[in-house]
């Protein structure tokens, strides 16, 4: 019998990769979308049921999770105008979805495996409103899941085709000067998006993963330093770069100015004083319980190989 997967955040960066992986593994996909979808999809997408609605639309969510074997909650905000906006999407939407699953299971008795894509930032909840909202989303799930089996994945930096944020790394390197926030030795783990998609599927219905909060990365012990990450991109582009360490106080000043300008001109700022706290944090290495220890999933893509594939996508789409 074909398994049904429900996906929020389906049109986002990670969501697109997850849907491709689910289809490849024979799932029927119910995908939530706020935007109208084309009437005619490609043949390989015939087993996607697009459901119009958002995380506040309980009727759409009921349709999304109906008869689902697994629910992947990927939708979230990485930038927002306010703390309330972060909480609304990253925290309270988890409660809404859990409530909907409970309501749906009373009718069909189906109890899908709830898989929440959180963030390594949730480990450091006091750094920012974003980190706090992701941690609170985790707590809501663990406190209110009841008889729902759940798994939480905490990825570090995610990159790959479709991602526009990593483009900034290559753009900076192409100008032959890079800014290292906080220090050149600050370290972080990374994961290639298609590898993350396979990890999300690997934990599905895996009893060893029930009730667990798991880290997931590319398997590189101790992650990568800021300098190593930029030098990897420079090596791929075959150019030399000059690294500049940007002190926290300068970045904080820029963050305050950016927030002021965002208020004046009505945009959502990415660099804020709280985002600077995240960027300058010295340890974004995965060192908690890991997906690799509980499943037979293994990351296939190193940072260099992943950067090469991502750069090719940028060039193919005239972004570089």
- Is residue 178 situated within a structural domain? no
Is the pTM above the cut of 0.75?
yes
Tokens of 228: 């190593």
Range with top average pLDDT, 41-45, 46-50, 222-226, 245-249: 222-226
Tell me, what's the pLDDT at 36? Answer: 66
Whether the predicted pLDDT of 291 surpasses 80? yes
Helix axes 58-65, 93-108, angle to 10 degrees: 50
CA 35, 38, 44, 49 dihedral sign is positive
In terms of residue numbers, what domain contains 101? Answer: 4-159+190-218+285-299
Higher-pLDDT residue of 106 and 73 is: 73
- Is residue 24 situated within a structural domain? yes
CA angle 101, 124, 179 (to 5 degrees): 120
- Is residue 230 situated within a structural domain? no
Tell me, what's the pLDDT at 45? Answer: 53
Q: What is the mean pLDDT of the segment spanning 218-240?
A: 91
Residue 293 neighbours by CB under 8 Å, 6+ apart: none
pLDDT tens digit string along 118-168?
999 999 999 999 999 999 999 999 999 999 999 999 999 999 999 988 898
What share of the chain in percent tops pLDDT 90?
Answer: 65
- Is residue 123 situated within a structural domain? yes
Tell me, what's the pLDDT at 37? Answer: 63
Helix axes 226-237, 303-316, angle to 10 degrees: 50
- Is residue 265 situated within a structural domain? no
Higher-pLDDT residue of 57 and 248 is: 57
Higher-pLDDT residue of 283 and 264 is: 283
Tell me, what's the pLDDT at 276? Answer: 76
- Is residue 289 situated within a structural domain? yes
Please state which of the ranges 47-56, 133-142, 269-278 shows the lowest mean pLDDT: 269-278
Tokens of 105: 């299971």
Cα–Cα separations (whole angstroms), residue 56 to 63, 151, 179, 306: 13, 23, 39, 35
- Is residue 41 situated within a structural domain? yes
- Is residue 236 situated within a structural domain? no
Whether the predicted pLDDT of 274 surpasses 80? no
What pairs with residue 126 in β-bridges? none
Whether the predicted pLDDT of 104 surpasses 90? no
Whether the predicted pLDDT of 44 surpasses 50? no
Please state which of the ranges 13-17, 84-88, 264-268 shows the lowest mean pLDDT: 264-268
**CATH number of the domain that residue 86 is part of:** 3.40.50.720
**Structural domain count, the chain:** 1
């Amino acid at each position: 019998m074909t398994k049904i997967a429900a996906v929020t955040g389906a049109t986002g960066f990670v969501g697109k990769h997850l849907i491709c992986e689910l289809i490849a593994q024979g799932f029927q996909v119910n995908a939530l979308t706020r935007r109208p979808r084309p009437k005619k999809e490609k043949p390989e997408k015939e087993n996607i049921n697009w459901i119009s609605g958002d995380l506040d639309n309980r009727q759409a969510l009921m349709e999304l999770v109906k008869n689902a074997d697994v629910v992947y909650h990927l939708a979230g905000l990485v930038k927002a105008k306010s703390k309330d906006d972060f909480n609304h999407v990253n925290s309270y939407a988890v409660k809404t979805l859990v409530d909907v699953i409970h309501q749906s299971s009373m009718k069909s008795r189906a109890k899908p495996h709830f898989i929440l894509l959180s963030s390594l930032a949730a480990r450091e909840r006091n750094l920012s409103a974003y980190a706090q909202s992701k941690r609170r989303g985790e707590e809501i799930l663990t406190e209110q899941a009841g008889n729902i089996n759940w798994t939480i994945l905490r990825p570090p930096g995610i990159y790959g085709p479709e991602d526009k944020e990593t483009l900034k790394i290559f753009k900076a390197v192409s100008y032959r000067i890079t800014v290292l926030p906080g220090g050149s030795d600050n370290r972080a783990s990374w994961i290639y998006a298609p590898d993350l998609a396979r990890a999300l599927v690997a934990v599905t219905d895996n009893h060893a993963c029930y009730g667990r909060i798991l880290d997931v990365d590319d398997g590189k012990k101790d992650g990568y330093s800021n300098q190593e990450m930029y030098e990897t991109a420079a090596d791929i582009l075959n150019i030399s770069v000059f690294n500049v360490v940007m002190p926290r106080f300068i970045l904080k000043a820029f963050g305050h100015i950016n927030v002021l300008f965002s208020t004046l001109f009505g945009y959502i700022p990415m660099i804020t004083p709280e985002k600077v706290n995240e960027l300058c944090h010295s340890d974004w290495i995965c060192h908690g319980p890991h997906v690799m220890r509980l499943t037979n999933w293994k990351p296939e893509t190193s940072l260099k190989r992943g950067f090469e594939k991502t750069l090719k996508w940028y060039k193919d789409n005239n972004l570089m």
